[in-house]
Amino acid sequence: MEDKQVETLFSFDEEVLKKALKNIYSKDFHPLTEIEGNLFDATWKTINEAADKGFGTRKPDDPDYDFYREIRMNNAVFAAFKVHRAQNDMAALLLDENGKLRPFEQWLKLVMPIADHQMADWMRTEYDTAVIRAHQAADWRQFEREKDILPNLKWMPSTSVHPGADHRIFWGTIRPVDDPFWNEHRPGDRWNCKCTLSSTDEAPTAVPDENGQNKAHDGLENNPGKDGKLFSDKHPYVTEAHPGARKAVDALTKRINEMIAEMPDNLTLEEKTDIARNNLKIEKALGVTKGKPMTYEQANKGKENPKFGKEEGYRVNCQTCTVTHMLRRLGFDTEAKPNIRQSAYNEMAKQGITWEERFLNRDGTKPDYDYTYKWQVRKGYQVMNANRLKEYFREKFREDGIYEIYCAWKGGSAHVFCAEVTEGKTRFFDPQTGKDDASNYIQSMKANRVGVIRIDNKLVNPKIMGLFITK
């Protein structure tokens, strides 16, 4: 199967569809009992972006933070049901009328209308609707908080250039915030509705006699400001799901929830979510299921590279050992492979990446090590020395977290090792050697050839899983 057979056919995300189609065609997973990871990842991310646009991102000290978390996890459920439906609709066309596997090109022609309809056309509508309903959810939370001052809600006219007639009968209607009317009718209960509500102390009006002609669309009859669901459980993706959907969705979302819950509080919810999704990719690439996150003591002190003193390849594999430490902290029981005659770099080149892409930003881009020679220019310093290097580290280590440090040695060659900052205190350690205190490394560094990235809030690149030994 060649990439060019899938290229330019998917406006949502060509690379995502390319990978998903290959997985479905090659039966890389079971479509009835599992959720295709690439489509799920992209769909959940898209709906979360819509939610953030409408509801706003919330910090832990925000009164709606827990509700914000509910919205994002409910988005995962919706995304999983959507993908389960799409993948099974496409998988159903794998075999011809004689029960034989169709050639990929033939199958592709049959499934692209499904992909375009479910993942492109409807995805756009779902995104737009999610933005609107997330904004309405935020409004509703505020209405609830202020109802002692502004006890009523007024249905405002649609802002659409060409508004439909279905909600027109409700324009100007004023009812109390807790009135049962709002359980049956609300702006946002029809696809792409652009009506809004406004809090008011104006007197309530009579309920319009609409004879049941304005029922909510399936999947939109709930109030997202109360249950945190931008799309309800009556959505056709749920009510008309393929067999096995509920079990597959529950298993996936439970797994993600568990991983998010076990992560440290110095990570944001968005960081935890992306790391959890990436953990699933790492599990697939390594062929193992991760365990509980390891503490520093469980992960380090020679466990990343236990053969360091035995063979040369284990003394030149620092670029693998720092990642091994991070994998172990995540819960993957791994060891570093040796770097024999540049084998680690050859493996990365084979995957089309450089050593600087072993860790990735959450958007998949290469992280910036912000080397000291760049920092020196920004600071206006003519020279770099040990004291300025310490200043550089103080700036870089302002946040609690785990860091990778690159340095060139004064005597030649280079190295990467780690630092961990906890409550403002920094511990330098070396996963390659197992050294528990590597603070004396600083005096041997070329001060203008040092770089730092924080790695506990980055993604470990699944493409480098060939560098590790699993237990």
Q: How many Cα neighbours within 13 Å face the side chain of 36?
A: 28
Phi, psi (degrees; rounded to nearest 5) at 415: -155, 155
Q: What pLDDT does residue 294 have?
A: 98
Closest CA to 46 of 9, 15, 84, 72: 72
Q: Are residues 444 and 392 in the same domain?
A: yes
Q: Are residues 223 and 238 in the same domain?
A: no
Q: Which residues contact 170 (CB under 8 A, 6 or more apart)?
A: 155, 185, 195, 208, 210, 214
Mean pLDDT of 377-403: 96
Which two structure tokens, joined as six digits, stand for 61? 């000290």
Kindly report, residue by residue over 310-359, the tens digit of the pLDDT: 999 999 999 999 999 999 999 999 999 999 999 999 999 999 999 999 99
Query: Using 50, 70 and 90 to split pLDDT, how confident is the model at 15?
Result: confident
CA–CA separation, 232 and 227 (whole Å):
9
Asked which of 227, 251, 269 is the last residue of a domain, the reply is: 227
CA–CA separation, 407 and 158 (whole Å):
60
- Three-class SS state of 408: strand
Q: How far apart are the first and last CA of the chain?
A: 33
| Inside any domain, residue 194 | yes
Residue 8: pLDDT above 90?
no
Q: Are residues 244 and 278 in the same domain?
A: yes
CA–CA separation, 44 and 72 (whole Å):
8
CA–CA separation, 459 and 330 (whole Å):
11
CA–CA separation, 71 and 77 (whole Å):
10
Provide the residue range defining the domain that includes 76. 3-136+233-284
Q: What pLDDT does residue 192 have?
A: 78
The amino acid at residue 457 is N
Percent of the chain residues topping a pLDDT of 70: 97
Task: Identify the helix (H) or strand (E) that includes residue 412.
Answer: none
| Inside any domain, residue 71 | yes
- Tell me the residue ranges of DSSP E strands in 177-284: 196-200
Residue 247: pLDDT above 80?
yes
Q: Are residues 77 and 150 in the same domain?
A: no
| Inside any domain, residue 247 | yes
Q: Which residues contact 191 (CB under 8 A, 6 or more apart)?
A: 125, 129, 217, 220
Q: Are residues 246 and 374 in the same domain?
A: no
2-6, 29-33, 100-104, 171-175: which range is least confident on average?
Answer: 2-6
* DSSP secondary structure code for residue 156 in this structure: E
Q: Is the dihedral of CA 361, 286, 266, 75 positive or negative?
A: positive
Percent of the chain residues topping a pLDDT of 90: 87
Q: Are residues 297 and 343 in the same domain?
A: yes
Q: Is the pTM of this model over 0.85?
A: yes
Query: Using 50, 70 and 90 to split pLDDT, how confident is the model at 12?
Result: low
Q: Are residues 343 and 449 in the same domain?
A: yes
Number of domains in the chain: 3
Q: Are residues 449 and 306 in the same domain?
A: yes
Mean pLDDT of 444-467: 98
Kindly report, residue by residue over 275-303, the tens digit of the pLDDT: 999 999 999 999 999 999 999 999 998 99
Q: Are residues 443 and 314 in the same domain?
A: yes
CA–CA separation, 289 and 376 (whole Å):
44
Give the length of the chain: 471
CA–CA separation, 307 and 282 (whole Å):
24
Q: Are residues 193 and 264 in the same domain?
A: no
Chain mean position to CA 396: 25
Mean pLDDT of 33-47: 94
Task: Identify the helix (H) or strand (E) that includes residue 421.
Answer: strand 414-422
CB-count exposure of residue 410 (10 Å: 0-12, 13-18, 19+):
exposed
Closest CA to 85 of 265, 249, 298: 249
The amino acid at residue 432 is Q
Asked which of 227, 251, 266 is the last residue of a domain, the reply is: 227
CA–CA separation, 249 and 270 (whole Å):
21
| Inside any domain, residue 466 | yes
Q: Are 335 and 366 in contact (CB under 8 A)?
A: no
Higher local confidence (pLDDT), 163 or 156: 156
CA–CA separation, 294 and 331 (whole Å):
6
Kindly report, residue by residue over 409-440, the tens digit of the pLDDT: 999 999 999 999 999 999 999 999 999 999 99
Residue 162: pLDDT above 80?
no
Residue 4: pLDDT above 60?
no
| Inside any domain, residue 141 | no
3-7, 74-78, 116-120, 236-240: which range is least confident on average?
Answer: 3-7
CB-count exposure of residue 34 (10 Å: 0-12, 13-18, 19+):
middle
Q: What pLDDT does residue 277 have?
A: 95
Q: Are residues 262 and 213 in the same domain?
A: no
CA–CA separation, 274 and 363 (whole Å):
9
Query: Using 50, 70 and 90 to split pLDDT, how confident is the model at 164?
Result: confident
Residue 2: pLDDT above 70?
no
Which two structure tokens, joined as six digits, stand for 260? 């998010």
The amino acid at residue 381 is Y
Mean pLDDT of 87-108: 96
Q: Are 141 and 227 in contact (CB under 8 A)?
A: no
Mean pLDDT of 134-144: 97
Cα three-residue angle 72-258-35, rounded to 5 degrees: 65
Q: Are 323 and 453 in contact (CB under 8 A)?
A: no
Q: Are residues 410 and 303 in the same domain?
A: yes
CB-count exposure of residue 446 (10 Å: 0-12, 13-18, 19+):
middle
Q: What pLDDT does residue 471 have?
A: 83
Mean pLDDT of 41-52: 94
